[in-house]
Chains A and B, each alone.
Chain A
């Protein structure tokens, strides 16, 4: 399996991150934005795992760190969705451009 070079993993991570970033910055629906953020997080996880295998000093720490990130991301998604539902109840919308109370 070692025929796949590290740059391929990194390119995948980069593409994933860019898609996630694009989605997070442009989509109106907050649920899509949250999903995009998950994409970005996972792009980071791929990077971590890649460097734990192909890095200057390969170590298991990177993979363990990725595990941590996944579990934290799961918790974050739960909390994020809960906040979103609470917001939806008060604002009757999930459109992110209508949530501009930071303006004042």
Chain B
């Protein structure tokens, strides 16, 4: 664990190598990226296993010294960090491998791998930061990596707009994080997590301040994790290449917000209001995004809304004091959502469209992708025995125990929606008649299916690290030796919750099967009865339009006004000053005629004037 700092360094090396030699390496760039992330992965696994038996390892050195204050940098390997290291490096490695097939033939192949390296470096750096400032630095780096990767197809207008939107919207959240961080520093005189928790524990920070800082920091997490009301960038970010969506917008970056809340959990748990805010925002986002997901027709957008919804789930869990539930779902979600995205990428690779209306009947043609997609769909829907089932059950139990019946119902309905739209997606893509023109449908190369198989296996088995039947290994381990978290460990929920959750998700699947699989119920049955609702959902509750009409218009108005001031007032003054100086210079240069006699005359007049003044004032000026 002493050398855990090497883990983020490997992808950084990959980034630098590809930056310098990428053009010459061309498609061989993939091997550089894959090998170096594999090194990270192996190291992360070693660290993870080492962490099972050893206590938390922290090391830091003075970075800046200002007066008595020492700003430190370093790294920390606690349970959460070790787990995140493993998840991030695993998904990153698999995406690196997958991209070799997916991005094959792209002109900027090496640039893509360089960006992937940069992003992986930032993300791995983020999850081992021992203090808020370092976290913030990597947090922003992650944002940059995401910006570059979303805008990878920068020649597409939509991709450009999406990249900008993602960057700006997450920045809005980051302002909250920054202010929260500054306030915390002001209150506790430290950026270190441990110092902050100690100060909070000792009651050095007032209750209001804890609530305020926690909510401000949560705003940062809202931006990064695509929670309502800053969620709109995430579906737009699907303009990026599909492996990027799998890496950034399913498993890692969007999980950073959840990670931040989890790693600052002792701060949040000190304020009931803050936890409640997290839970309400999370619960609302979960059902809000899930309802939009019901009607979308772009395969990646459905998955994007499902991601937003699932992240809401994690926030709900954390907000209901279900620390383990949130982190557990973060892990299982990373696996099955990455799987779903990679499988979706494989489908897109095969049929060259993202519109599910133009797919259909792909089950027989994509012999490997189909079953893997089904596994992911089953897992996310919470079908028993798959990973999603256990983590979702844990969250529902946490929500129930947290004492928010409304939130519990919200989560349950969201689970129903999730099962419905995921199977709607599955049935529309893989069963029925082939729609659209699918000529050369072929299975993806093995370099693409291999990562999917690994993720498929994990999507099935990952849940067994924390089950009510075989022991709650993950839950016990996560809170081990941490008193602040011990109270928020595994919740043994009532059995009826598990049964209810299963019934709800099976109902969703059954309904989806009736409409889209068996087609015994007309597709218009729902949309016809609630025509207005359908339109509203199709337009994503008009959130984008609302922002366009309010915030964007107001901001534009202000900026036009400021531009007016700038061109006419500020520039006018500046123009006036420069004009005056220029005129003065022109007059002065005209006087430099080269006529010695004129010079002499002027000098004489000046001298005479001085003499007159001297005479009149009697020797000195009064």
Kindly identify which residue among B593, B594, B596, B597 contacts A26, using a CB–CB cutoff of 8 Å: B597
Q: Does B604 contact A (CB under 8 A)?
A: yes
Q: Looking at B592, B594, B601, B604, which has the most chain A CB atoms within 10 Å of its CB? A: B594
Tell me which residues from 38 to 67 in chain A have a Cβ below 8 Å from any Cβ of chain B.
none
Q: Is the CB of A96 within 8 A of B594?
A: no
Q: Is the CB of A103 within 8 A of B596?
A: no
Residues from chain B with a CB closer than 8 A to the CB of A33 are 597
CA distance A25 to B595 in the complex (A): 10
Q: Does A101 contact B (CB under 8 A)?
A: yes
CA distance A43 to B597 in the complex (A): 20
Q: Is the CB of B601 within 8 A of A25?
A: yes
Q: Is the CB of B604 within 8 A of A102?
A: no
Kindly identify which residue among A21, A100, A103, A104 contacts B604, using a CB–CB cutoff of 8 Å: A21
Q: Looking at B592, B593, B595, B600, which has the most chain A CB atoms within 10 Å of its CB? A: B595
Per-position contact with A for B498-523: 1 when CB-CB < 8 Å, else 0? 00000000000000000000000000
Q: Is the CB of A102 within 8 A of B597?
A: no
Q: Is the CB of B592 within 8 A of A97?
A: no
Residues from chain B with a CB closer than 8 A to the CB of A99 are 596
Kindly identify which residue among B592, B597, B601 contacts A96, using a CB–CB cutoff of 8 Å: B597
Residues from chain B with a CB closer than 8 A to the CB of A100 are 593-595
A58: min CB distance to chain B, Å: 26
Residues from chain A with a CB closer than 8 A to the CB of B596 are 96, 99, 102
Q: Is the CB of B604 within 8 A of A97?
A: no
CA distance A33 to B600 in the complex (A): 12
Q: Is the CB of A102 within 8 A of B594?
A: yes
A20: min CB distance to chain B, Å: 12
Q: Does A16 contact B (CB under 8 A)?
A: no
CA distance A84 to B177 in the complex (A): 81
CA distance A70 to B592 in the complex (A): 33
Q: Does A13 contact B (CB under 8 A)?
A: no
A19: min CB distance to chain B, Å: 14
Closest Cβ neighbor of B603 among chain A residues? A25
Residues from chain B with a CB closer than 8 A to the CB of A26 are 597
Residues from chain B with a CB closer than 8 A to the CB of A21 are 604
A44: min CB distance to chain B, Å: 15
Q: Is the CB of B593 within 8 A of A25?
A: no
A53: min CB distance to chain B, Å: 25
Number of interface residues of B (CB under 8 A): 9
CA distance A101 to B592 in the complex (A): 11
Tell me which residues from 579 to 622 in chain B have a Cβ below 8 Å from any Cβ of chain A.
592-597, 600-601, 604
CA distance A104 to B592 in the complex (A): 9
Residues from chain A with a CB closer than 8 A to the CB of B597 are 24-26, 33, 96-97
B441: min CB distance to chain A, Å: 81
CA distance A21 to B596 in the complex (A): 13
CA distance A101 to B595 in the complex (A): 9
Per-position contact with B for A1-31: 1 when CB-CB < 8 Å, else 0? 0000000000000000000010011100000
Residues from chain A with a CB closer than 8 A to the CB of B595 are 97, 100
Residues from chain A with a CB closer than 8 A to the CB of B594 are 100-104
Closest Cβ neighbor of B599 among chain A residues? A102
CA distance A103 to B599 in the complex (A): 11
CA distance A70 to B597 in the complex (A): 24
B57: min CB distance to chain A, Å: 75
A54: min CB distance to chain B, Å: 22
Q: Looking at A96, A101, A102, A104, which has the most chain B CB atoms within 10 Å of its CB? A: A102
A96-B597, A97-B597 known; A25-B592 Cβ under 8 A = no
CA distance A100 to B595 in the complex (A): 5
Q: Is the CB of B593 within 8 A of A103?
A: yes
Kindly identify which residue among B592, B600, B601 contacts A103, using a CB–CB cutoff of 8 Å: B592
CA distance A96 to B594 in the complex (A): 10
CA distance A1 to B600 in the complex (A): 38
CA distance A21 to B603 in the complex (A): 12
CA distance A99 to B596 in the complex (A): 8
CA distance A74 to B596 in the complex (A): 22
CA distance A33 to B596 in the complex (A): 11
B590: min CB distance to chain A, Å: 11
B353: min CB distance to chain A, Å: 74
Residues from chain B with a CB closer than 8 A to the CB of A25 are 597, 600-601, 604
CA distance A21 to B597 in the complex (A): 10
Closest Cβ neighbor of A28 among chain B residues? B597
Residues from chain A with a CB closer than 8 A to the CB of B600 are 24-25
A28: min CB distance to chain B, Å: 9
B594: min CB distance to chain A, Å: 3
Residues from chain B with a CB closer than 8 A to the CB of A96 are 596-597
Residues from chain B with a CB closer than 8 A to the CB of A24 are 597, 600
CA distance A90 to B90 in the complex (A): 88
Residues from chain A with a CB closer than 8 A to the CB of B601 are 25
Residues from chain B with a CB closer than 8 A to the CB of A104 are 594
B420: min CB distance to chain A, Å: 87
CA distance A100 to B594 in the complex (A): 4
Tell me which residues from 133 to 190 in chain B have a Cβ below 8 Å from any Cβ of chain A.
none
Tell me which residues from 174 to 232 in chain B have a Cβ below 8 Å from any Cβ of chain A.
none
Closest Cβ neighbor of A99 among chain B residues? B596
Closest Cβ neighbor of A21 among chain B residues? B604
Residues from chain B with a CB closer than 8 A to the CB of A97 are 595, 597
CA distance A97 to B599 in the complex (A): 12
CA distance A101 to B601 in the complex (A): 18
Residues from chain A with a CB closer than 8 A to the CB of B592 are 103
B591: min CB distance to chain A, Å: 11
CA distance A24 to B598 in the complex (A): 10
CA distance A99 to B595 in the complex (A): 7
Per-position contact with A for B278-305: 1 when CB-CB < 8 Å, else 0? 0000000000000000000000000000
A91: min CB distance to chain B, Å: 13
Per-position contact with B for A60-104: 1 when CB-CB < 8 Å, else 0? 000000000000000000000000000000000000110111111
CA distance A22 to B579 in the complex (A): 38
A17: min CB distance to chain B, Å: 11
Give me the interface of A with B, judged by CB distance under 8 Å: 21, 24-26, 33, 96-97, 99-104
Ordered by A's residue number, 24 sampled pairs between the chains whose C-beta atoms are within 8 Å are A21-B604, A24-B597, A24-B600, A25-B597, A25-B600, A25-B601, A25-B604, A26-B597, A33-B597, A96-B596, A96-B597, A97-B595, A97-B597, A99-B596, A100-B593, A100-B594, A100-B595, A101-B594, A102-B594, A102-B596, A103-B592, A103-B593, A103-B594, A104-B594
A25-B601, A102-B594, A102-B596 known; 8 new pairs, CB 8 Å cut-off, are A24-B597, A24-B600, A25-B597, A25-B600, A25-B604, A97-B595, A99-B596, A103-B593
6 closest A-B pairs by beta carbon, nearest first, are A103-B594, A100-B594, A102-B594, A25-B601, A25-B597, A25-B600
